[in-house]
Chain A
Amino acid sequence: MSIVNMLNWWQWSLLAAVPPAIVLLYFLKLKRQPLEVPSTFLWHKSIEDLHVNSIWQRLHTSILLLLQILLIVVAILALLRPGWRGSQLSGDRFVFLIDNSASMSSTDIKPTRLDEAKRRVAELVQQMKAGDVAMIVSFSDSARIEQLFTDNRRELERQLVTIRPTNRATRLGEALRVAAGLANPGRALEVSETQVVEGLPATVYILSDGRFPDVEGFSLGKLKPVFVPIGEPAAPNVGIIAFSTRPREDKKDQLQAFARLENFGPDDLTAQVELYRDDSLADASQVELKAHGSGGVVFELGDVHSAVLRLRTLSGGALRADDEAWTTVDPPTRSKVLLVTPGDEALELALATESARELADVETAKPEALDTKEYQRKAAEGHYTLVIYDQCQPKQLPQADTLFIGGLPPGGAWSALAKAAAPQIIDVETAHPLMQLIDLGNVRFAEALPLKPPPGNTILISADAGPLFAIGPRDGFEDAVLGGEIVGTNEKGERYANTDWPLRLSFPVFILNALSYFGEATSPGATNVEPGHAIMLRSAGAADSLRVVSPSGKAVVLKRERGEAFNFSDTDELGVYAVEEANHPLRHFAVNLFDSAESNIEPRQDVQIGYNKVTGETTWQGARQELWKLLLLGALVLLLGEWYIYNRRAYL
């Protein structure tokens, strides 16, 4: 037990003089109410033995005096502010960073880690002295300022309660930047124009399980970090970290569901998994999982065209968010591809292969068709998934992904240098899905436009003269531009082969890559959305609105904006979201955690912030347990008792 001295020495001496003063006053009895009585005869007789005038005898009987002295002693004790020492707050400015990511919903600490973090922050807030200011920031993959710097403890506690768990991943960096921005102004962060906080040192309390990547390239400046790890080190957890469906390699019409489970606990175990198809149990299995190991499970689904699949593991451990995973099988929708070309046999041939036909319906049109109303309507409505403009340029970009071959998109964002003759291909970005398995070492172009793509683009093929092939985002779509034509046309109007690429094996592979890459958005069965991330949705027809029903049944109507695709970002809830267009189910998508960093709930004992290694506070002594409230309560009870006794004249 420790005592916080609340008074100066002279205040104490003044206080110490109070009990003797009470005793003196009691003896003096300055104020006696005079009362006229018929006769004091009997009174004199009665008080004869009480009137022995012995001080001690008088004190002996005076419980009121005793109570008064007791009261003052209790009040003095309360002023001492006794209590049991808890974690001390150091400094006078605090930033509480509270992790509310998915892993903080673990129940290894009852009720949850987040509640424990909130409780600890509440304890720290209670210890704040007058004049101390604190800020509360909750963070998952993004930071959210719950409360700006204030000395209002009540407000801090109120905001603390409102922090809700999320299913998101954890990134500390943004939260730290928010804290630093408010603590060390001058860093680029504007929170509010009215908020002016001078650059003063602040203590940053990070309450987290530490399941976030090390923060790199961040200097703490005047921030003093304190990491409070939350969680049981040996808490068991089994998480589903992947779940998807795929056609069997040998029988394309048969579907298989693959799931991957990981055991993050310290013990080997056998995980029970159950597969539900449209909410009825379809299959069950067991996976042997070694400690800190993973294992897979495969379910044969057979001939399934449409289903909502849910996988559940019964031995899920402390974190529940990763005990279930969803995926959907929607009727296959082949992407619609429009090829606009004055004539390109190689391209038409590549789009006519069996594999290409499985992926897409290809329409072919002449460049003149670009002026027809039908094309313009379909382009504006997003009818096509991909439009390939071969040696031509539309007046307006369509609501679709585009692939320009030997031409530039309209609008002026893209530009090119003068045609370069025989550009040498230097590098191919094979990491990009469009360029997977493509070797262009044996491909030559007669001439090509060295591209000057707008910022934010990815260069897929670099040549000595400049970029030859690049892809860049445009609103919700992507435009890929190949600088070199496949079939060129000379001044006389004669057509010639500009490149030998169509002769190489990589050309049809490239076309298939393009079809599957651009068409992926329309094959939604595989689509998995991370919680909190946005998903782009496309309507099948020309509808102006889409309706998205969340797993809990909350419906959101999305309106089309400026002829773009629909963007849905309210994906905090785990589960299957249904997308409806004009009251007809269009497709489903699943939001799953699938984050082994979050599923690994073992708390880290230290975190790396920039060049600083912050070691966690291993022992949490809890908040200082204050006694003064109890003492004051006792004093109040004493006062009441005194009043009662005085009024009832019931002193013994």
Chain B
Amino acid sequence: MSTTSSALLTPELMAQLERLELVSRKIFRGRLKGERRSSRKGQSVEFADFRNYVPGDDLRFIDWNTYARLDRLFLKLFFEEEDLHFYALIDASPSMDFGTPTKLHYAKQLAAALGFVGLVRADRVRIETLGQPAARHAPVFRGRQSAWRMAQYLDTIEPNESGSLASGVKNFCIRNPGKGIVVLISDLMDKQGYDTALKYLLSQQMDVYVIQTLSAEEMHPEIKGDLKLVDCEDQDIAEISASVPLLQRYQKTLAAFVEGAREFCSRRGMNYLLAHNELPVDQLIASYLRKRGLVR
């Protein structure tokens, strides 16, 4: 594993992550049999239930012993074990290149950690960025041995992508029509708004997690004096004079923004989580995401 990827995934974090697994509340059809016991009944060695035979059922699953005893046809049902499609969608716009560590690094770390959880449980892990063209597919990682490849791939992501949140999400949806878990890691700071983008995701019938990453500078700006704020993405300028009321107003606006996103998501059955770059990833996963039900 390279040094940069080790920065993303420390052995301690991996050891902690190995005990976890990704959880989907929705029933997915996996393409391959995975280690996951699906809520769907299927073909596995683990017995689940009986049900009455209806014509057309596969005769192979009839429990002939029961038929012999009761003279009625029952079908034996087994738990289906299946794989899960896990998508991490990272916002790699220049605005993510702020904070210590940068928000992008934080997003990568989060994606790596969640991806590793998926890889360990033999899930199908795909990591994509918003700026990715619609036609280009990102590699799919499966199996624990792919962890280092995934980390290498994450390292190649640079904060230089342009494009709006909505178009990025739309492209993602076009590329990945299937079901699964998608974790959108972004600061949601799009001047066109985030609702269009989230609606695209919603239409995917995916289990959507929105993790809004903000840097400490954004949450508690330490600025003073008369300033000319330059937007790093569109070079937009905001002239401000730092003052207590302005900062209070900023805090209010930020709170309203975050609350709006949370509200938007929870109304639509999406999970929203606010993460700032100073909260360690292991802590975020171990406590916050566990509570949200993404991992267990």
Interface residues, chain A, CB within 8 Å of chain B?
29, 31-47, 49-50, 61-62, 646-647, 649-652
Chain A hits for B250, CB < 8 A: 42-43, 46
The answer to whether A649 touches B224 (Cβ under 8 A) is yes
* Interface size of B in residues (CB-CB distance below 8 Å): 41
Rounded to whole Å, the gap between the CB of B276 and the closest CB of chain A is: 13
Q: A43-B240, A652-B244 are in contact. Are A38 and B95 (CB under 8 A)?
A: yes
Chain A hits for B217, CB < 8 A: 37-38
Is B257 among interface residues, defined by CB-CB distance under 8 A? yes
The answer to whether A649 touches B240 (Cβ under 8 A) is no
Most chain A CB inside 10 Å of its own CB: which residue of B96, B97, B245: B245
Report 17 cross-chain contacts, Cβ distance below 8 Å, ordered by A residue: A33-B225, A34-B230, A37-B229, A37-B230, A37-B231, A38-B95, A39-B187, A40-B230, A41-B191, A46-B240, A46-B252, A47-B240, A47-B246, A50-B246, A646-B225, A649-B242, A649-B244
Query: Contact check: which of A36, A39, A49 meets B189 at CB < 8 Å?
Result: A39
- Residues from 183 to 241 in B contacting A, C-beta threshold 8 Å: 187, 189-191, 215, 217-218, 223-233, 236-241
User: Given A39-B231, A649-B244, 5 more contacts at CB 8 Å?
Assistant: A35-B223, A37-B218, A38-B96, A46-B246, A650-B244
Closest A residue, CB atoms, query B254: A42
The answer to whether B189 touches A42 (Cβ under 8 A) is yes
Most chain B CB inside 10 Å of its own CB: which residue of A39, A40, A46, A646: A39
The answer to whether A33 touches B228 (Cβ under 8 A) is yes
Bound CA–CA A164/B42 (angstroms): 117
Most chain A CB inside 10 Å of its own CB: which residue of B98, B187, B228: B228
Interface residues, chain B, CB within 8 Å of chain A?
95-98, 103, 187, 189-191, 215, 217-218, 223-233, 236-247, 249-250, 252-254, 257
Bound CA–CA A31/B230 (angstroms): 15
Bound CA–CA A40/B95 (angstroms): 10
Those 9 A-B pairs whose CB atoms lie nearest each other, nearest first: A39-B189, A38-B95, A40-B238, A32-B228, A46-B250, A40-B231, A43-B238, A38-B98, A46-B249
Query: Contact check: which of B218, B229, B253 meets A45 at CB < 8 Å?
Result: B253
The answer to whether A40 touches B244 (Cβ under 8 A) is no
Query: Contact check: which of A35, A646, A647, A652 meets B230 at CB < 8 Å?
Result: A35
Q: A45-B253, A50-B249, A649-B243 are in contact. Are A40 and B187 (CB under 8 A)?
A: no
The answer to whether A42 touches B232 (Cβ under 8 A) is no
Rounded to whole Å, the gap between the CB of B254 and the closest CB of chain A is: 6
Chain A hits for B246, CB < 8 A: 46-47, 50
The answer to whether A34 touches B215 (Cβ under 8 A) is no
Looking at chain B's contact residues, the main secondary structure is mixed
The answer to whether B245 touches A61 (Cβ under 8 A) is yes
Chain B hits for A33, CB < 8 A: 225-228
Chain B hits for A45, CB < 8 A: 253, 257
Chain B hits for A39, CB < 8 A: 95, 187, 189, 191, 218, 231-233
Chain B hits for A41, CB < 8 A: 189-191, 231
Bound CA–CA A34/B241 (angstroms): 12
Closest A residue, CB atoms, query B94: A38
Rounded to whole Å, the gap between the CB of B242 and the closest CB of chain A is: 5
Chain A hits for B223, CB < 8 A: 35
Rounded to whole Å, the gap between the CB of B52 and the closest CB of chain A is: 59
Chain A hits for B215, CB < 8 A: 38
The answer to whether B238 touches A44 (Cβ under 8 A) is yes
Chain A hits for B254, CB < 8 A: 42
Closest B residue, CB atoms, query A58: B241
The answer to whether B189 touches A50 (Cβ under 8 A) is no
Rounded to whole Å, the gap between the CB of B223 and the closest CB of chain A is: 7
Bound CA–CA A35/B218 (angstroms): 13
The answer to whether A647 touches B189 (Cβ under 8 A) is no
Bound CA–CA A651/B187 (angstroms): 31
Closest B residue, CB atoms, query A63: B243
Bound CA–CA A651/B247 (angstroms): 11
Bound CA–CA A380/B293 (angstroms): 127
Most chain B CB inside 10 Å of its own CB: which residue of A41, A47, A646: A41
Most chain A CB inside 10 Å of its own CB: which residue of B191, B246, B247: B246
The answer to whether A38 touches B228 (Cβ under 8 A) is no
Chain B hits for A32, CB < 8 A: 226-228, 239
The answer to whether A29 touches B226 (Cβ under 8 A) is yes
The answer to whether B237 touches A40 (Cβ under 8 A) is yes
Chain A hits for B226, CB < 8 A: 29, 31-33
Bound CA–CA A616/B200 (angstroms): 103
The answer to whether A34 touches B228 (Cβ under 8 A) is yes
Closest A residue, CB atoms, query B252: A46
Bound CA–CA A44/B229 (angstroms): 10
Chain B hits for A61, CB < 8 A: 243, 245
Closest B residue, CB atoms, query A29: B226
Chain A hits for B230, CB < 8 A: 34-37, 40
The answer to whether B229 touches A43 (Cβ under 8 A) is yes
Closest B residue, CB atoms, query A650: B244
Closest B residue, CB atoms, query A34: B228
Most chain B CB inside 10 Å of its own CB: which residue of A32, A35, A43, A650: A43
The answer to whether A38 touches B240 (Cβ under 8 A) is no
Rounded to whole Å, the gap between the CB of B159 and the closest CB of chain A is: 10
Q: A46-B253, A47-B238, A647-B224 are in contact. Are A37 and B232 (CB under 8 A)?
A: yes
The answer to whether A35 touches B228 (Cβ under 8 A) is yes
Closest B residue, CB atoms, query A44: B238
The answer to whether B253 touches A651 (Cβ under 8 A) is no
Q: A649-B224, A649-B244 are in contact. Are A38 and B218 (CB under 8 A)?
A: yes
Closest B residue, CB atoms, query A35: B227
Chain A hits for B238, CB < 8 A: 40, 43-44, 47
Most chain A CB inside 10 Å of its own CB: which residue of B230, B241, B242, B250: B241
Bound CA–CA A61/B248 (angstroms): 14
The answer to whether A38 touches B237 (Cβ under 8 A) is no
Chain A hits for B190, CB < 8 A: 41
Rounded to whole Å, the gap between the CB of A574 and the closest CB of chain B is: 71
Rounded to whole Å, the gap between the CB of A91 and the closest CB of chain B is: 54
Bound CA–CA A46/B227 (angstroms): 14
Rounded to whole Å, the gap between the CB of B247 and the closest CB of chain A is: 7
Bound CA–CA A189/B250 (angstroms): 83
Chain A hits for B187, CB < 8 A: 38-39
Bound CA–CA A652/B247 (angstroms): 12
The answer to whether B232 touches A36 (Cβ under 8 A) is yes
Bound CA–CA A649/B217 (angstroms): 17
Query: Contact check: which of A34, A646, A651 meets B227 at CB < 8 Å?
Result: A34
Bound CA–CA A33/B250 (angstroms): 19
Chain A hits for B227, CB < 8 A: 32-35
Closest A residue, CB atoms, query B226: A32
Most chain A CB inside 10 Å of its own CB: which residue of B215, B224, B238: B238
Q: A36-B230, A37-B231, A47-B238 are in contact. Are A42 and B257 (CB under 8 A)?
A: yes
Chain B hits for A62, CB < 8 A: 241
Chain A hits for B237, CB < 8 A: 40
Chain A hits for B242, CB < 8 A: 649
Rounded to whole Å, the gap between the CB of A47 and the closest CB of chain B is: 6
Bound CA–CA A646/B244 (angstroms): 11
Rounded to whole Å, the gap between the CB of B136 and the closest CB of chain A is: 26
Rounded to whole Å, the gap between the CB of A45 and the closest CB of chain B is: 5
Bound CA–CA A652/B248 (angstroms): 11
Chain A hits for B245, CB < 8 A: 50, 61, 652
Closest A residue, CB atoms, query B233: A39
Rounded to whole Å, the gap between the CB of B102 and the closest CB of chain A is: 10
Rounded to whole Å, the gap between the CB of A157 and the closest CB of chain B is: 46
Closest A residue, CB atoms, query B242: A649
Q: A32-B226, A50-B246, A650-B244 are in contact. Are A42 and B231 (CB under 8 A)?
A: no
Rounded to whole Å, the gap between the CB of B220 and the closest CB of chain A is: 13
Bound CA–CA A650/B245 (angstroms): 9
Closest A residue, CB atoms, query B249: A46
Bound CA–CA A32/B227 (angstroms): 5
Bound CA–CA A106/B98 (angstroms): 81
Chain B hits for A647, CB < 8 A: 224
The answer to whether A40 touches B253 (Cβ under 8 A) is no
Q: A50-B245, A651-B243 are in contact. Are A35 and B229 (CB under 8 A)?
A: yes
Closest B residue, CB atoms, query A652: B244
